[in-house]
Amino acid sequence: MTTFKTIVIDGNERSEFDASRLDAYLEAVLSEFPELDTTRYKDRIFRSVQRRREIKAENITEMLIRNALDEIETHAPDWTFVASRFYSKQLHKDTIARRGVVSYAEAVEVLVDQDVYKKELFDSYTKSELQMASDWIDHSKDGLFTYIGLLTLDSRYLAKTPEFKTLELPQERFMTIALTLMVQEPVSKRMELVKEAYWALSSLYMTVATPTLANAGKTHGQLSSCFVDIMDDSLRSIYDSNTDVATLSKSGGGIGVYIGKIRSKGSDIRGFKGVASGIVGWAKGLNNTAVSVDQLGQRQGSIAVYYEIHGKDIFRFLDLRLNNGDERERAHDLFLGVCVPDLFMEKVKAREKWYLFDPHEVRTKKGWSLEDYYDEEEGRGSYRDKYQELVDDPNISKDEVESIDIMKAIMKSQLETGVPYMFYRDTVNRANPNKHLGMIYCSNLCTEIMQNLSVTTIKEEVLNGDTIVIQKQVGDFVTCNLSSINLGRAVIDDVLERLIPIQVRMLDNTIDVNDIEVLQAQATNKKYRAVGLGTFGLAHLQALKGIKWESQEAVDFNDKLYEKIAFLTINASADLSIEKGAYPAFSGSEWHTGEYFRRRGYDSQEWNLLEAKIATHGLRNGYLMAVAPNGTTSVIAGSTASIDPIFNLKYSEEKKDYKIPVVVPDLNARTRFYYKGAYFIDQKWTLRQNAARQRHIDQSQSCNLYVAPDIKAIELLDLHMTAWELKVKSTYYVRSQAVVIDDNNCEWCQG
């Protein structure tokens, strides 16, 4: 027993510790969890407090949280919600004291005055509308957050002072997003739409992309997730592209850059033979941009570069991230993707020769570029015809290599660094619903975005002797606008029919309210009105449903589920088209002609009716679905990442002074059997699920492959062959337990 009185310090106040007051506080929180045994926990708390002469009030909260977290590993996962309650109460207390007002309507005025919130946005709403929004906020929904979810939301996304002190509450962030995305809707109905958007977000049925979650309503930052550009083979294009990449990176965008048009090492420049340095120097320039232009001071930029497997610099490209060799040939901070045609995979399978070409020489001597073609049908098409024409042309220089040697170099890099990503260009372009206006050359930072790309050209002239006029022929500069369904909640609660229409509207409105500094990206955004509705929590959902990952049942379940999601998404976009008009590039698209539906075998009555509706009234969005990685946003929503299996049933997040134990969602005696660690799963079942979903997803999926560090080359090759044969559009990381991969690289590309 202690013989001294414990003094509690709360700000400038000092008072004797009141055990009954703490007991009442604990009881108020712990009574929400009658299934938990709290006796041991409470006893430990009181003993910890009473053996100190002095203790700060906030340290008592830290003690409550830490001891609750200690209970997770040894007793019950639901202790994470106990820790979250204590964190939430402290967050509310500190935030309200810091800003001096309680209600959201009052907070808006304060944060506008402090230049945290956009004045223009909140001036668009009347005081009565803001009061209405304030009345709708339900702070009890903070109870849905796990501790790590609430901590992540607070530390990375809630509005802060310049000293990084929190100024807004979690439910206020959701309401601000809803108000931001509905601001241009007709006044007669926009508040009801705000209410519906808030319902979707606050119920954790969906998440918006990280830039939208972080920046909506604030004075700085834009709302789109990531961007894809194409470099032409000219100094002007290369440097302009680098400038655009830097501009987008500073505002919180992940970038994909196609460099397959750049001349190879040893090519000629203005007729001088053998002087070109190839792609490495330009890749290193992008690497420096990624490191130097950070994203809102939070992390360095994230850039992926994609190169063609028929380019002469392919081996140099595949070595860019290796940890050995000539450092002048390395770009360790880039992420790599390789563009792979069917013909190459056929050559690898048959162990045949492959030929490498210089794109500049081909363009100069032939008047066309090999990378501008793809095979329109399986086993036949213009790419293989043009490739063979180059092979047969004695005037075209070419490097003859073994196709399997390129594949070995790919796999070596993957096992050492996790990349390159695989982009199956023929499969992608055959499925492109907007092939009438272009071609898809590569994907984005996370391999789920598949949209038309084309070069922006520039013409300059001097006007009146003292003014230079710059004219840009705008190419397609891809923008990703993402959000994702929380499958583990939305499917279980059976709300997809209500959720998806408001989610598609939110995505579509993002295009109009966003402010992108790179104007050609803004123009492309309006031309295709592309969005990427995705999902996360698949492992969570399948565990709740009692479906084993490695089973035909899982494959069939994915097929049915994603067909339903696709139907609801396309239908919601069709309804928006009736209300607001079709995307400008709709005419002549496969959405318009109906080929999109025939290609996928959609022939039921409801699909036929939807096809007819779109043919008559159009479609609002030219691209609609994409499954992003969702590592961070799934943590906030308390579920599992993307379409991935789990890593472990339990793991720890490292913090400065202690570890935060995290348990997979809804872990119990029944679900434990259906949760299986990624490294113990036959990856072919993952690929089969991916293929079943892919039929219904017009873009792609961030699909990781998990392999043992000692996997045999023939086994990894077999996985790649399986992915290609199943018509998977892309694969993301090859994750080996021996490879450390920064999961934050694509945080901005999550929905």
Q: What is the CA radius of gyration of the chain?
A: 27
| Most distant CA atoms of the chain, gap in Å | 97
Q: Structural domain boundaries of the chain?
A: 1-75, 77-196, 479-702
Q: Name the pLDDT band for 74 (thresholds 50, 70, 90).
A: confident
The pair of three-digit structure tokens given for residue 740, joined into one six-digit string: 């450390």
Average pLDDT over residues 424-437: 98
Indicate if 67 belongs to the active site.
no
Q: How far apart are alpha carbons 350 and 373 in whole angstroms?
A: 23
pLDDT at residue 565 is higher than 70: yes
Question: Which residues, 6+ apart, have CB-to-CB distance to 166 below 8 Å?
Answer: 91, 94, 95, 98, 154, 158, 159, 160
Q: Considering the chain, what percentage of its residues have pLDDT values greater than 70?
A: 97
Q: Name the pLDDT band for 659 (thresholds 50, 70, 90).
A: confident
The model's pLDDT over 668-704, given as tens digits with 9 standing for 90+, comes to 999 999 999 999 999 999 999 999 999 999 999 999 9
Average pLDDT over residues 507-533: 95
Indicate if 448 belongs to the active site.
yes
Please indicate, yes or no, whether the overall pTM of this predicted structure exceeds 0.85: yes
Residue 675 Cα to chain centre, angstroms = 23
**Range from 150-154, 508-512, 744-748 carrying the lowest mean pLDDT:** 744-748
Catalytic-labelled residue, pool 444, 509, 558, 690: 444
Q: How far apart are alpha carbons 118 and 180 in whole angstroms?
A: 10
Catalytic-labelled residue, pool 168, 196, 308, 448: 448
Q: Considering the chain, what percentage of its residues have pLDDT values greater than 90?
A: 83
Q: Name the pLDDT band for 225 (thresholds 50, 70, 90).
A: confident
CATH number for the domain running over 479-702: 3.20.70.20
Estimate the share of the chain in helix, then strand, then coil, as percent rounded to the nearest 5.
Answer: 50, 15, 35
DSSP code for 118: -
Average pLDDT over residues 534-545: 98
SS3 sequence, 260-300? CCCCCECCCECCECCCCECHHHHHHHHHHHHHHCCECCCEC
pLDDT at residue 297 is higher than 70: no
Catalytic-labelled residue, pool 226, 446, 703, 746: 446
Average pLDDT over residues 422-440: 98
Q: Which residue has the tokens 């043009």?
A: 386
Contact present, 111 and 180 (Cβ < 8 Å): no
Average pLDDT over residues 277-292: 94
Average pLDDT over residues 192-211: 97
Give me the pLDDT at residue 85, please: 97
**What number of other Cβ atoms are within 10 A of residue 674's Cβ?**
18
Give me the pLDDT at residue 3, please: 57
Give me the pLDDT at residue 251, please: 74
The model's pLDDT over 24-64, given as tens digits with 9 standing for 90+, comes to 999 999 999 999 999 999 999 999 998 888 988 889 899 99
Indicate if 442 belongs to the active site.
no
